[in-house]
Structure 1
Amino acid sequence: MSLTLTDYDALSFDCYGTLIDWEAGIAAVIGPWARRHAPDLTDEQVLVAYSENEAAVLRETPRILYPDALREAFRRTGETLGFPVTDTEAEELGTSVPNWPAFDDSVEALTVLKRHYRLIILSNVNRDGFADSNQRLEVEFDDILTAEDIGSYKPNPANFEALNSRVEELGMTGRLLHVAQSLFHDHVPAQQFGLPGVWINRRHDRPGWGATPDPRAEITPDAEYPSLMAFAEAVEAAFSGRALRSQER
């Protein structure tokens, strides 16, 4: 690993895919819908079809609120697969964010990380949607930047410009790590801004990209962990080691 974890004062997080299991949340709605039309379709196949449609909606309509983006992405996924999506079905996905579960390790890992860093959210969601998810995460974030606040969605550079501006205001330039699962939404644009990144590779034991589009770029994050807890344990070890070295001097 090329990072010295004790060199940083703050972590910026993607939420959906990193802290909240958005694939499980989306699949809970569109998986059963798809199998009503084609019983052999797997959740993975439906998520792959969905991923490109959501990315297109967020790119084409950057000021759309995320619940509306979910509805439109679902309709487009229906067109892609050749199956109808009713207004009721679209509404089910549009209102589903509060039901999306946190990953099993998110609460414990965030509690550990909060002891060592300022925690910032940079999320592709609206304010109300994140407020619902934040209740599942059980930690108070120091700063929250949503797509609704910024007026665009990652991987739009404007989102990382907003993050950089906030970090400058806090006097933490050069002291921020970006922590995310998505190479497409997060690590590719973050590296373009010179922002070091930690890849939480939630899909390390599964092939393909799932609900996250192919990054379509060569990208090597500065560090990779299979879970948020694995990263938190590495952080705890790094800071414990620094404290021990200080005591020995």
Structure 2
Amino acid sequence: MLQEFKAITFDCYGTLIDWERGILDQLRPWLDRSGRRDLSDAMVVETYARLEAACEAETPTALYPAIIEEVHVRLARHWELRPDPVAAHAFGQSVGEWPAFADTAGALRYLKQFFKLAILSNVDRASFARSNEKLGVTFDLVLTAEDIGSYKPARRNFEVALDRLDRTFGVGKGALLHAACSVFHDIVPASAMGITTAWINRRNDIGALGQTARADYEVADMAGLVALHKR
């Protein structure tokens, strides 16, 4: 099972950090003030995800805070709300405040005993540094969209990760497991490149934003990944 791997690359937001809770905690007060209490959590998250992916594709070298600040502007336009530059800027700076999932730190500490652990995340260095304080381990390698100059699902992000792991630790593609929640950003492109994947399907009770994955492994959370290794 997992014992054949030497390293695990992790997506961060949605996998280790509760991306949805962080987004909703930031957007709800603004939506409430704007009179849009009718929007369900699912509708907010799905609309946000679609607009974020579009912004990342359009401006691949923009830092993540600028990306999500622009998403805030587009959400206002989409829902015909008055633009709120102050709220948009605050949202862009909020990434480091998003909470970790309850099982993340313990699972990472366990896995650190057996694997090199790396981050491959659609974020900027400064935001991840704040999030890393909640994750409980020191990663052996951190690669962000800021470092690479593009956002997943771009093939380049995975190519850079493979190259760095090989040159730094001697870990080839066959010894790497990529673990992530996002089908679109991670599971599909990594699988297409022949990287073994573990789908951390934290949305297994509500659906993966309209997508399904064909991953090599599927677990419901990080605790499930630990249990898979123990078996």
TM-score interval, normalised by the smaller of the two chains: over 0.9
Q: Which string of whole-angstrom CA distances, capped at 9 and with x for unpartnered residues, describes residues 23-59 of structure 1? A: 1111111123223322211222111111111101100
* Cα distance in 2, alignment partners of residues 137 and 8 from structure 1: 22
Hey, what's the Cα distance between the residues in 2 that align with 1:27 and 1:106?
20
- Cα displacement (A) at 1:141: 0.3
Counterpart of 1:232 in structure 2 is: 226
Unaligned runs of 5+ in 2: none
Report deviation, 1:12.
Answer: 0.3
2:158 corresponds in structure 1 to: 160
> For residues 191 and 37 of structure 2, what CA distance do their matches in structure 1 show?
41
The 5-angstrom pairing of residues 97-116 of structure 1 reads 97-116=95-114
- 1:14 counterpart (11, 16, 22): 11
TM-score calculated relative to the size of structure 1: 0.88
Distance (whole Å) between structure 2 residues aligned to residue 56 and residue 11 of structure 1 = 28
Aligned-residue RMSD, C-alpha: 1.3
Instruction: Find the residue that maps to 2:185 and give its secondary structure.
Output: helix
8 A Cα contact 2:9 2:176, kept in partner: yes
* Alignment equivalent of 1:91, drawn from 81, 89, 92: 89
Give the match for residue 171 of structure 1. 170
Q: Which of structures 1 and 2 has the bigger CA Rg?
A: 1
In 2, distance between residues paired with 1:197 and 1:130? 22
- Partner amino acid for 1:12? T
TM-score by length of 2: 0.95
CA distance 1:31–1:219, change in 2 (3 Å): same
**Structure 1 unaligned residues grouped into runs of 5+:** 238-249
Partner of 1:202: 202
CA distance in 2, matches of 1:175, 1:39: 48
Q: Structure 1, residues 4-33: CA drift from partner, whole Å, max 9, x if none? A: 211100000000000000111111111232
Give me the identity figure in percent. 43
Aligned pair in 2 of structure 1 residues 202, 125: CA closer, same or farther (>3 Å)? same
